[in-house]
Amino acid sequence: MNNGEIVKKLHEMAEQNLFGEGSWPADEKSSIEFWQFANEYLFEPIPDRPEFRRTSLAEDYDVDAMISFIGADNPDFVLASFGWDDERCFSELEQKLEDESISQEHMAQLVKHYVRGAYFRFCARTGFKPFSRATLLPQPPGDLQSTANAS
């Protein structure tokens, strides 16, 4: 698998969990799938040591952010890797999360909303076009698609 395919697969996982039928944070099955993929393509053994290090792709492409977008890490720490471009946005979320009247379910949806925004900013920064998979955004059948394109 080449680097482009690896990056595309990471985004597919993130989009599935953030916008598709998957769950965010990732459920156990998705998390296991991600870590198996990561161990195969994003980490490599250190010669003569029983340890692993990130591949150059994992270092260059900010795998910590992708782990957060996929939701494959502890959700309590998920926001730490975003390097917020807009401190106001982070402060606003932090203030909302301190509100004890917000239910856990609402809080999880609120965090997911902010993570979605961070994902779009990440895509803009890295030049990746989100939603490149037809399975996430169903295309109209042939006749409807040509009609839509004609208007």
Taking the CB of residue 80, how many other CB atoms lie within 10 A of it?
11
In a domain, 142, yes or no: no
In a domain, 151, yes or no: no
Please give the residue that has the higher pLDDT: either 149 or 85. 85
In a domain, 54, yes or no: yes
In a domain, 91, yes or no: yes
Specify the 3-state DSSP secondary structure of 19. Answer: coil
Give the confidence band of 57 by pLDDT, cuts at 50, 70, 90. Answer: very high
In a domain, 143, yes or no: no
In a domain, 141, yes or no: no
Q: What angle (nearest 5°) sits at the alpha carbon of residue 63, between those of residues 58 and 68?
A: 165
Distance CA 24, CA 48 (A): 37
In a domain, 80, yes or no: yes
Q: pTM here? A: 0.74
Please give the residue that has the higher pLDDT: either 13 or 137. 13
77 Rama sector, left if φ>0, alpha if ψ -120 to 50, beta otherwise: alpha
Residue 138 has pLDDT above 50, yes or no: no
Range of the domain at 124: 3-134
Least confident piece of the model among 14-18, 24-28, 130-134, 141-145: 141-145
In a domain, 88, yes or no: yes
When divided into structural domains, the chain yields a total of: 1
